[in-house]
Amino acid sequence: MVRNEGDPLKRVVVCTPTHEYARADNREEHNIGPLGNPEDAIRQHDALKQTLRAFGADVLDVPEMESHPNSVFTRDTAITTPQGYIQVNLGLKTRQTEGAWMAQVLDAQGEACIGEITPPGTVEGGDVVLAGKVAFIGRTVRTNDEGIRQFSDIMRAMGYEIRVIALPDTVLHLDKALMMLGPEQVLYCRDLVAREAIDGFEGLAIACGGDTTANIICLGNGQVIVNRTNNTVSDLLDRKGFVVHDLDLGEFAKGMGGPNCLIMPVDRGI
């Protein structure tokens, strides 16, 4: 279960890019830039898995979904809550069957499905950040108003306060603009997220642009994973006393993804 993205990471689902990620047949349709180098992508993904396991997280590595190069970005394919997972309907047309794919994976792990985002609603996991009693959700090109309504109904029944953050079309997901650093700490882009949106949390503001984003993995206990090119954030968090695992994940930036996009947390806790 996941109640707060700032709690220590205990179990995640990842998907090693062995075949599909490097052979997208229509990159524009899949929203992928230059095709990744398969050997480099696997090497970088292996380093990520090694770091997750060294922290103590249980890593479930599932095969890619055939003809779905974006299935490596598992974060988007489900939302795990304190009571079970929500099956999502992804906003990118070529990814819409990935919600059912991940639901099968989670069902096989004994996870309970507590709800589903149904058409015309769309929600992608990268647009959701759970923070204890608050659920942040981005209104983006991938997550629409109907999806937000359905998600809000599910989460309010668990006692969550919903905070919707509207983002420009140039920002793919909320996790590029806001992520947890700890149970009460938020890393956020000051030009995209208003300070009042994170009332009740300790905010660490950054100026986003270029390689500088909030897309990091909070491992918990003061440890984070940051993409090597995001050196402004790495340096800042290092100065703030965080243990920063600086990984080269450049092959996944070609697919418009960062560290957080590559994991779907299934369990976080003390």
Per-residue pLDDT tens digits of the chain, which is 270 residues long: 999 999 999 999 999 998 877 666 665 565 666 667 889 999 999 999 999 999 999 999 999 999 888 899 999 999 999 999 999 999 999 899 999 999 999 999 999 999 999 999 999 999 999 999 999 999 999 999 999 999 999 999 999 999 999 999 999 999 999 999 999 999 999 999 999 999 999 999 999 998 999 999 999 999 999 999 999 999 999 999 999 999 999 999 887 899 999 999 999 997
pLDDT at 47: 98
Residue 177 CA, distance from chain mean position: 11
pLDDT at 255: 75
Residue 23, class by beta-carbon neighbours within 10 Å (0-12 exposed, 13-18 middle, 19+ buried)? Answer: exposed
Q: Do 175 and 261 form a contact (C-beta atoms < 8 A)?
A: yes
Reduced to 3 states (helix: H, G, I; strand: E, B; else coil), residue 112 is coil
Tokens linked to 4: 């707060």
Task: Please list the residues that pair with 136 across neighbouring strands.
Answer: 129, 163
The values of phi and psi at residue 50, to 5°, are -60, -40
Q: Are strands 264-268 and 243-247 parallel, antiparallel or unpaired?
A: unpaired
d(CA 251, CA 35): 8
Domain map (residue ranges) of the chain: 9-268
DSSP string spanning 3-56?
A: SBTTSPEEEEEE---SSGGGG-S-HHHHT--SPPPHHHHHHHHHHHHHHHHHHT
Does the domain made of 9-268 have the CATH classification 1.10.3720.10? no
Taking the CA atoms of residue 29, residue 209, residue 144 and residue 128 in that order, the dihedral angle to the nearest 10 degrees is: 110
pLDDT at 20: 76
pLDDT at 156: 98
pLDDT at 67: 86
d(CA 175, CA 173): 5
Which residue from 186, 140, 191, 129 is spatially nearest to 162, judged by alpha carbons? Answer: 129
Residue 199, class by beta-carbon neighbours within 10 Å (0-12 exposed, 13-18 middle, 19+ buried)? Answer: exposed
**What's the whole-model pTM score?**
0.95
DSSP 120: T
pLDDT at 38: 85
